[in-house]
Structure 1
């Protein structure tokens, strides 16, 4: 069964007061709401990697990502630690973020009793690409909607770092089938930001608009938002209060 995190920090102190305060604000204060979806620890105990689900987000700002990628770094001689973390919308993006920080890909797979299964081969292929490929895209915005248990979905807007990349803007759409315990993930490609956000707004208005085919592989998305690009409005169908 999914479990609460053991950060393996007994006997360790934060490397300084600033790190201690940030760890409390971003991780420890909501530790009882965090569920471990995947974790890996190096044999020398210097590094721990976690994919966590934060149940507290459901009660926060509508649409916020519910996953946390956490990388703990320990100085085993000094008995101190520091950390990096990122709030991300999709499991492959969290795995990718951790892999970029030294976690082996085959060590951070989800636990067998956790989450939903890919519904088809297209989902598996796209998730593998998101997990494995280079940092060619940046996260612009995302929306996680879990207010309707029969229509749980996550939308993600990415932008290529290379402004001359074909179909520079990508939308990822994950839809969860809670009845069968599966999910699908699809990718759409757009030449302009305006086209991408027009699809986004139509989709969240309830229109049945298909995603245009993305012919170029989506790469792993960097965590920071692209400067100068406003995020599309968050739909009002956000998580349940």
Structure 2
């Protein structure tokens, strides 16, 4: 089923937009969320999608979470479409926030998704979503379970531009039982040291040294939500989606650059 990006009657403003739109049509994608739409002279839409063909196109470690930003110039009936791939949903949401999507649209659970296993996981997700351009992503990967085809580990290697020491960060998202996932952040002095740890993993992941003041604010918000009966504030996982397709597609997916 082809998703309707509401571009009927619009022409692509540039070659990148045309290629990204064609890639989205050619790929087997599932739009997970239409997070936000603006109105006015320019209509902007923010999407998160799941690319079922990522494995067959880019190999066993290919990330499958894509974000798409669609801007429609209503006066000139032209559009731009930009896309990016991510290993985890919080980094995908941060990409959208940096491009104008309101952060509060991510504050609610979605039925059929998995949630964070502990408070540390939820806090890291909150911080990544609010990070704007704080983290410069260096590499991403996803390891899959051979039997189910679902993700068992998602990883992001990034540079923390605000860190005073050990600026290279590894975010490991591990998926376990009971429909939960755990995220841990490791800190390294340089990229080579981080990559060596990822290859070896014989020692514990060295923890990030900073204290994060967002923790107290989030605990207060969660406590208030629970006491009022409001929906829990949780990050969402994607492993309840069907196993990725193994069919071969000749064209690259939308905006794949990694």
TM range, smaller chain:
0.7 to 0.9
Alignment of 1:21-40 (within 5 A): 21-25=19-23, 27-30=24-27, 32-40=28-36
| 1:19 and 2:17 aligned | yes
2:53 aligned residue (53, 56, 59): 56
Residues 4 and 36, structure 1, Cα contact 8 Å, conserved in 2: no
Structure 2 unaligned blocks of 5 or more: 213-243, 247-258
Residues 37 and 114, structure 1, Cα contact 8 Å, conserved in 2: no
Deviation string for 1:166-201 (max 9, x for gaps)? Answer: 111111000112x41111111011112232112100
Shift of 1:4: 6.7
Whole-Å Cα distance in 2 between the matches of residues 210 and 9 of structure 1?
A: 49
Whole-Å Cα distance in 2 between the matches of residues 188 and 152 of structure 1?
A: 18
Residues 5 and 36, structure 1, Cα contact 8 Å, conserved in 2: no
Change in CA separation of 1:33 and 1:194 when aligned onto 2, cut-off 3 Å: same
The CA RMSD over aligned residues, in Å, is 2.7
What secondary structure sits across from 1:20 in the alignment? Answer: helix
Select the structure with the greater relative contact order (CA < 8 A; seq sep ≥ 6).
2
Residues 91 and 129, structure 2, Cα contact 8 Å, conserved in 1: yes
Aligned to 2:92: 94
Residues 20 and 81, structure 2, Cα contact 8 Å, conserved in 1: no
Whole-Å Cα distance in 1 between the matches of residues 108 and 54 of structure 2?
A: 20
What secondary structure sits across from 2:121 in the alignment? Answer: helix
Whole-Å Cα distance in 2 between the matches of residues 217 and 13 of structure 1?
A: 48
Whole-Å Cα distance in 2 between the matches of residues 240 and 195 of structure 1?
A: 35
Structure 1 unaligned blocks of 5 or more: 219-238
What secondary structure sits across from 2:53 in the alignment? Answer: helix
What secondary structure sits across from 1:70 in the alignment? Answer: strand
